[in-house]
Amino acid sequence: MATLERLCLHESVGTKIPQSAFVDAFDGLDVRVELVGDDESYSSMDAVASFEPRPEFLEAGWVHCIRAGYDAFDTDAYEVAGVPLTNSTGIHGETVGELAVGYMLSLARLLHVYRDHQGEREWHDPAYERPFTLSGERLCVVGLGTIGTAIAERADALGMEVVGVRRSEESVPSVSQIYAPSALEDAVADARFVTLAAPHTPETEEMIDAEMLDAMRTDAYLINVARGPLVDEAALVEALEADAIAGAALDVFETEPLPPSSPLWDLENVIVTPHRGSATNRYHLDIAELVRENVRRYRAGESLLNRVA
């Protein structure tokens, strides 16, 4: 049994969610909940939930990163200090899965193009052969964790043929064929949509480069709801401008915010969203539910969910 007297919600959570709503989401928790700033000190009887790392968190008893990506947190330092570090993976399937499907629907049926023309009060009439339905089209999902599996399930429900790329050969519901990462080129070759849902690791860095883009169909679309560095952005721009692929939908980028000088802003066949894949009015509740469960586990001496260090 571990003593836990205080759950500290670091002010950096406001980067993604409303601070006051997050505090309110812990009503009824039998631990003192406080919103804290950078002037706070911690003891082993404190838990911290934060968007950004701080060196002083290593004095706490347990730290939770409210996002799935924990790259900014020094996991080695947490290991050395013996302080558990957890993250928020596993709660983004529904939200990011919906976004990915929304991208595919928009790219297939030109919803974003019609909206652009609406702003100019233009009655846009695309070429007859341009709009298409998702049913019967092939989707390759790269990375079949929580998010990738959720995307696959939703695409399958729309009648798409879904294949996937993952290290394990274990079958995944709604996915007809599994490719090993070493066979990525084969996996993307016949897909109308290639959706990235893999973590950012040294192995996945720029996995979509000029060679991989060249392997894709000329009428294919790239969707990235994972991490920006998975894509060689310069190679992607070159492929888009040369019509080597049909388009892209991107929620993540090499540099965020996406610089105003980026050519991606001006390409009609590209949808740009500002890293908002998980952004719904319930996101703070999803995170709070996970943290609540880990508060219970921490106090009971049980294994913490999503422990990364």
List residues with catalytic annotation: 227, 256, 275
Strand, coil or helix: 44: coil
Q: For 205, how many CA atoms within 13 A lie in the half-sphere containing its CB? A: 3
Phi/psi for 195 (5° steps) reads -115, 125
Q: Name the nearest CA neighbour of 100 among 143, 53, 50.
A: 143
Contact criterion met (CB below 8 Å) for 151 and 104? no
DSSP-derived secondary structure letter, 231: B
Q: Output helix, strand, coil percentages for the chain, rounded to the nearest 5.
A: 35, 15, 50
Do residues 36 and 9 lie in contact, with contact meaning Cβ atoms separated by under 8 Å? Answer: yes
Structure tokens, 169: 């050969």
Whether the CB-CB separation of 184 and 137 falls below 8 Å is answered with no
Contacts of 267-272 with C-beta under 8 Å, sequence gap 24+, read: 267/237, 267/240, 267/241, 268/113, 268/116, 269/240, 270/240, 271/103, 271/106, 271/107, 271/112, 271/247
